[in-house]
Chains A and B, each alone.
Chain A
Amino acid sequence: MKRKLLYLTLIAVLFFSAFPLWFSFVVSTKDSSALADVSLIPGKNLVDNVKRVFDTVPFDLALLNSLIVALSVTTSVVLFSTLAGFAFAKLQFRARTALLVTVIGTMMVPTQLGIIPLFILMTKLEWHDTLPAVIAPALVNAFGVFFMTQYLTEALPSELLEAGRMDGATTHRLFWHVVLPVARPAMAVLGMLTFLGSWNDYLWPLVVLASPENQTVQVALSQLRAGYVTDYALALTGTMLATIPLILVFGALGKQLVGGIMQGAIKG
């Protein structure tokens, strides 16, 4: 009996998680004049709505821009976090502990509050309204370094490094031939998390990208929700176009993502 109640609760949780997304999908398949009728069965207007999204904002360019930004950011974050994580986990150097504490401290720094000087900086560099302005500030993050340090401390056997040293391998060689193969699963998870974060970033791209053809997906989406009377069939079609690829990836790799988030957590 108690068991049944537990599963019923979990099914309810699942319903609350999925319902808003399902409902949005349903709205995106309806004629915008038929929204008064609340029904959960998809309509026939999806293709038409998709066309309207592409007519209203340059959505194809926005997808491309977001892809460029997210891939650059992910590559950089994964590479630099693995390098730093390796150093913090397995190499000896002065001030190591203090520097690692600094990294963890910077995880709590609200960098979003620096957007004014960042904007001034980008104007000086003449990067304003270009993708590098969005990419540059995201090239590293403290969470990535912390995450890789935690993983490599546990997963990388020190004996393996010692053996490599005995054979005369340089640190550089050790990194490429010993560390990278071991780090691969964690790099994949960090890559996914970083990609998601970058793809979903909003305030800074909104501020620094001005021209419609330079905007990222999230900024383009926000444009579809303009005015007091929103055409929700249009806005939610855009939302679905930007969200469904992520949900598909999530369906395929979600298990690893869950594992990664739990691994990155600070444990009691």
Chain B
Amino acid sequence: MRTWPYKVDTRVSPYLYISPFFLLFAIFGLFPLVYTAYVSLFDWSLLADEHPFIGLDNYVALFKDSYFWNALFNTVSILILSTVPQLIISLVLAHLINRQLRAKTLWRLGMLLPNVTSVVAVAVIFSQLFGRDFGVINWALEGLGFGRINWQAGVASSHIAISVMIIWQWSGYNALIFLAAMQAVPRELYESARLDGATEAQQLRQITIPAIRPTIIFVVIVSTIYGLQIFAQPQLFAGSGPLGITGGTDRQFQTLTLYLYEHGFNRGFEFGYASAVAWVMFGIIVIFAVLNYRLIRRIRQS
């Protein structure tokens, strides 16, 4: 009964169906990333015809550049200032809505609303809110009896402003991801905890968090990968002109991706050097992902 066309069909079709993904991902995703390592070994400017091989010179120059270390510091600082509060807010929000509620959909929609807004829109909106002269936040601070803050000027203040943009945009989204995981935790666990007199905070710490650990690991790693590549928020915080590229007058909020963008697309298209930046960033991302994974696994054991 089963003839050769049937056999060919069942053997070949699966590969045919998955091949568009792998093919296109290889060409436009994986190849560029790997080729970055190759380009980083050359003095490769888009404006020059010759691209001489220079070995690791780009990396040597990079590690000697204090602006690179500055960008690394800013990136990690913004990463921590945004990820830690975001994680706490998301977990608490998810815990709050993981129960019988009136208008269930309304709360979920409200939490997702900021995430529908584009990164560019968020950056423009919050640049206005954090504005020195006409910003609502300074207006509120003044009303409460505090002084106005020039948010862009300081290292800490600018990092806080940029982190707030990230927290606002992603806390609700991550809360929904956590909520999905929390719904798989057996209800009886909470009921017996309540009978034992456990508070909400204790339930969250002792039941929920251990139970949804894989999801927490996933969210933290994804947030880290995203956070280490922050671009639009700092670029637009200072306006999309030259100040945006350097991340403020004193580079006080220039991130690594901005540094890459500055060298790759604004200063004679130094592709070799910018590729070295990208490859170092890749290394940093891997290190952070592994560190985070280890850190969270340890929390489980203790």
A: residues with CB less than 8 A from B are: 6-7, 9-10, 13-14, 16-18, 20-21, 23-24, 27, 35-36, 38, 80-81, 83-84, 86-88, 91-93, 96, 99, 103, 106, 108-121, 123, 136-137, 139-140, 142, 145, 170-172, 175, 196, 199-200, 202-203, 207, 218, 221-228, 230, 232, 235-236, 238-239, 242-243, 246-247, 250, 254-255, 257-258, 261-263, 265-268
Shortest distance from the beta carbon of A158 to any chain B beta carbon, whole Å: 14
Q: Is B67 an interface residue (CB 8 A)?
A: no
Identify 28 residue pairs between A and B in the complex whose beta-carbon atoms are under 8 Å apart, listed by A's number.
A9-B96, A13-B110, A14-B110, A17-B168, A87-B13, A87-B15, A88-B18, A91-B14, A91-B17, A114-B29, A117-B36, A117-B39, A119-B271, A140-B21, A145-B18, A171-B13, A171-B14, A172-B13, A200-B120, A203-B257, A218-B120, A227-B239, A258-B112, A261-B173, A265-B176, A267-B184, A267-B215, A268-B211
Q: How far is the CA of A225 from the CA of B122 in the complex (A)?
A: 12
B104-134: CB near A (< 8 Å → 1, else 0) gives: 0111111111101111111111111101011
Shortest distance from the beta carbon of A180 to any chain B beta carbon, whole Å: 13
Shortest distance from the beta carbon of B268 to any chain A beta carbon, whole Å: 14
Q: Is B225 an interface residue (CB 8 A)?
A: yes
Chain A hits for B257, CB < 8 A: 112, 203
Chain A hits for B107, CB < 8 A: 10, 13-14
- Residue pair B215, A266 in contact (C-beta under 8 Å): yes
Q: How far is the CA of A158 from the CA of B133 in the complex (A)?
A: 64
- B residues 5-62 near A (Cβ < 8 Å) are 5, 9-11, 13-15, 17-18, 20-22, 24-25, 28-33, 35-36, 39, 46
- Residue pair A267, B180 in contact (C-beta under 8 Å): yes
Chain A hits for B239, CB < 8 A: 225-228, 230
- B residues 263-300 near A (Cβ < 8 Å) are 264-265, 271, 274-275, 278-279, 281-282, 285, 289
Shortest distance from the beta carbon of B223 to any chain A beta carbon, whole Å: 12
Q: Is B229 an interface residue (CB 8 A)?
A: yes
- Residue pair B39, A10 in contact (C-beta under 8 Å): no
Q: How far is the CA of A168 from the CA of B278 in the complex (A)?
A: 52
Q: Is B231 an interface residue (CB 8 A)?
A: yes
- From A14, which residue of chain B is reached at the shortest CB distance? B110
Shortest distance from the beta carbon of B123 to any chain A beta carbon, whole Å: 8
Partner of B28, one of A81, A118, A196, A255: A118
Chain A hits for B30, CB < 8 A: 106, 109
Chain B hits for A23, CB < 8 A: 125, 128-129, 136
Q: How far is the CA of A221 from the CA of B31 in the complex (A)?
A: 31
Q: Is B68 an interface residue (CB 8 A)?
A: no
Chain B interface category by residue count: 35 or more
- Residue pair A17, B116 in contact (C-beta under 8 Å): no
- Residue pair B17, A225 in contact (C-beta under 8 Å): no
Q: Is B201 an interface residue (CB 8 A)?
A: no
Shortest distance from the beta carbon of B139 to any chain A beta carbon, whole Å: 5
Shortest distance from the beta carbon of A264 to any chain B beta carbon, whole Å: 8
Main SS class of interface, B:
helix
Partner of B14, one of A93, A110, A226: A93
- Residue pair A103, B21 in contact (C-beta under 8 Å): yes
B: residues with CB less than 8 A from A are: 5, 9-11, 13-15, 17-18, 20-22, 24-25, 28-33, 35-36, 39, 46, 93, 96-97, 101-102, 105-114, 116-129, 131, 133-134, 136, 139, 168, 172-173, 176-177, 179-182, 184-185, 211-215, 218, 221-222, 225, 228-229, 231-232, 235-236, 238-241, 243, 257, 261, 264-265, 271, 274-275, 278-279, 281-282, 285, 289
- From A23, which residue of chain B is reached at the shortest CB distance? B136
Partner of B29, one of A14, A137, A238, A266: A137
Q: How far is the CA of A207 from the CA of B11 in the complex (A)?
A: 42
Q: How far is the CA of A14 from the CA of B172 in the complex (A)?
A: 10
Q: How far is the CA of A201 from the CA of B113 in the complex (A)?
A: 17
Q: How far is the CA of A116 from the CA of B126 in the complex (A)?
A: 30
Partner of A38, one of B105, B139, B173, B181: B139
- Residue pair B265, A99 in contact (C-beta under 8 Å): no
